[in-house]
A and B are shown apart, each in its own frame.
Chain A
Amino acid sequence: MENRVIMAPMLSRTRFITGTIVSAVFSALLGCGEQVEQIPRLRWYVFAERSGAFEQAAQDCARAAHGRYDIELAALPTDADQQREQLVRRLAAGDPDIDIIGMDVIWTAEFAQAGWVLPWQGEPAREAREGRLASAVASATYQGRLWAEPFTTNTQLLWYRSDRVDTPPSTWDALFGMAERLGADGTIEAQGERYEGLTVFFVSLLASAGGSVLTSDGQHVSLEEAPTQRALAVMRRLANSPAADPALATAREDQARLAFETGDSSFMINYTYVWPSARANAPEVARHMAWARWPAVMPGRPSRVTLGGINLGIAAYSRHPELAFEAAACIASAANQRIAATRGGMPPTIAELYDDADVRTTFPFAGLLRDTLRDAVQRPQTPLYADVSLAISHTLHPMRDIDPARDAGRLREAVGRALRSEGLL
């Protein structure tokens, strides 16, 4: 339709501009009539994925739909907080441009409660659950209903240097002992900045110690005294250990990765993306890089690590919800999860894919990853997660100043205020 006005070279600039405006108005007026014949264009809002795995999935699904729909990616920032800020502003205003949302697992409760995503029901819901890891399905579930289709997942492992460590430590205490004995090379990399990653770290430690942030109904503060103090003691011990990175208080995932890639650290707590990254950027380090389960807080009790990843939700204001459900199911199908894994390095939510040869080549630690994911813990599933997370990270930063006995109480108070939407954070 753009060629409605065919420009002759002798046309003056003014006439060109007028012509463009006229044609724009003209097509806008005619727009309603024409759209009926056009292929519905579904807009998939998701973080800007660099490998092109999402683009590939969108194209493949559109092709398989034989002209019933087309999928267009709308790139969001890579930072999860900023993704949420942009989406939430649009959703609160009822923007019909959004059809499919690449939802971080932590948004499920908030988006569902606010009525911004449509629930999955009947056959599509059954298919979306089928063969998926239970923890991934749980991350998309709120108050007994499924609000998104599990697409990719992720969790942290303990990465270590096999040339300096014979057997990886199974508990945090063992880790501190080993790291401190190694001296200058013993550095432990973790996430200690005041941001959501600090909440993730705390939630993993707390769950590994047998505690939880909220009661199972998600309405009240739990934070049992003994597990909370145990988790806080590990944080304090880490930050005050000579083996801690001096920049721990400002380290996020990427700072930890970069520090490990220099070869001066022996241990790191991080997501699986560090493996392809090290192989590409620091082959010397990657050669001696090994993995183990996230350390336990209590001996004999396997660690429970926080679950990440994105699920596909259907926006409530979508113009084509039926088609969007269909497209989301296609995007999250086994074939596309394999592409997302092998090309984009995002672990699949379909349990079977962990036995797939290609996936195993990408993730040589696939077995360990699946075991960790099976025991994974959810971050507090409450519509007020953003508030709760702010309360946790603000109370526990910097980790070096934590006093477990005092801060367990402060934390309970701060999370309680966040749940009641009271006060500033």
Chain B
Amino acid sequence: MSRRAAAEHRLAWLLCAPAVIAMLVVTAWPMLYAVWLSLFRYDLRFPDQRQFVGLDNYLSVLGSETWWQALFNTLLITVGSVSVELVLGFVFALVMHRALIGRRLVRASLLVPYGIITVVAAMSWRFAFDPTTGFVNALLGLDGAWLAERWSAFFVIIQTEIWKTTPFMALLLLAGLTLVPEDLLRAARVDGANALQRFFRITLPLMRPVIMVALLFRTLDAFRIFDTVFVQTRGAQGTDSVSIVGYNTLIARLNLGLGSAVSVLIFVCVLAIAALYIRGFGIDLSRREDA
């Protein structure tokens, strides 16, 4: 390496250093501390009884029905909401992309739900589905307590998530749509491809990287769902998500060891999801020109 290259290399590290240090302090340290705590039997109420237990907390979590139940619930909510969001998001993105009149108005109004705080949205939907105060039962001529039964409670939670985050999906996909060259679509049209063929053969393949990134973001987000479930059911009727389990263990029971083990396991799940997308579906988050 020439002297000049070495100097540049050093400069690069120097320029990155503030960001790296900040990340180490605010991200890496708390995560490592959580891993460290998860190896102890440690209750905030009885700090003197702190005791090293190795992997016992993990065995305890992985051996419990509650964890697997919550993991299943979380995956159900994730798959249920993200898949519908993708389809709806595409529809919205196409509408925003093709809107001829009132383009700004269409875009702004589609984005409104995303601007609403999750807790507020969750509360609104809880009241909407409430048998006494809500409009949903009146509208559908039904009489059920939606949040009192497991599957209807899941329905309410998932639809709240969809309502809330579809705009985010639509926005990302809209950015992807603008990347599809008009010329290509016109050429296909000249060759006799109909609208459906153009969408599936040209638009979709070209947008694949964008779709994958959008799916990755939303899946990671949906997997960590907490507020909607907390507000709407507090995890009752078998709707616990993994984050709710973590909250109950850490905040309600003050069990730092076990709670940290749950948090670390959630982190591992998130890593696994990210790895699946990046390795399995081949997303390249840092696409280079020459690649």
Contact = CB atoms under 8 A, between A and B. Distances in A.
A383 B63 contact: no
A425 B66 contact: yes
A281 to B, nearest CB: 14
28 contacts: A81-B252, A88-B45, A88-B254, A89-B251, A92-B44, A92-B254, A110-B45, A113-B45, A114-B45, A114-B46, A249-B148, A250-B148, A383-B45, A383-B46, A386-B253, A387-B253, A390-B248, A390-B253, A421-B41, A421-B258, A422-B60, A423-B60, A423-B63, A423-B64, A423-B66, A423-B258, A424-B61, A424-B249
Interface residues of A, number: 25
Contacts of A247: 145, 148
Interface of B: 41, 43-46, 60-61, 63-64, 66-67, 145, 147-148, 236-237, 245, 248-249, 251-255, 258, 262
Contacts of B41: 421
Contacts of B67: 424
A149 interface: no
Given A387-B253, A424-B258, 17 more contacts: A84-B252, A88-B44, A88-B254, A114-B46, A194-B237, A195-B236, A247-B145, A247-B148, A249-B148, A250-B145, A421-B253, A423-B61, A423-B258, A424-B61, A424-B64, A424-B249, A424-B262
B63 to A, nearest CB: 7
Contacts of A88: 44-45, 254
Interface string A399-425: 000000000000000000000011111
Nearest to A82: B252
A414 to B, nearest CB: 11
A189 interface: no
Contacts of A166: none
A332 B150 CA distance: 45
A85 interface: yes
A99 interface: no
Nearest to A248: B148
Nearest to A89: B251
Interface string A192-230: 011100000000000000000000000000000000000
Contacts of A383: 45-46
Contacts of B249: 424-425
B252 A85 contact: yes
A239 B171 CA distance: 49
Contacts of B60: 422-424
B248 A425 contact: yes
B110 to A, nearest CB: 35
Contact of B252 (A386, A421, A422): A386
Contacts of A84: 252
Contact of A92 (B45, B61, B145, B252): B45
A121 B134 CA distance: 54
Contacts of A113: 45-46
B253 to A, nearest CB: 6
Please indicate which of the listed interface residues B43, B64, B67, B148 has the most CB atoms of chain A within 10 Å of its own CB: B148
A247 B145 CA distance: 8
A321 B287 CA distance: 64
A406 to B, nearest CB: 15
A114 B61 CA distance: 25
Interface string A65-99: 00000000000000001001100110010000000
Contact of A424 (B45, B66, B237, B254): B66
A110 B66 CA distance: 25
Interface in A371-402: 383, 386-387, 390, 397
Contacts of B237: 194
A372 B251 CA distance: 35
A424 B245 contact: yes
4 shortest A-B CB distances, which residue pairs?
A: A114-B45, A424-B66, A250-B148, A424-B64
Contacts of A425: 66, 248-249, 253
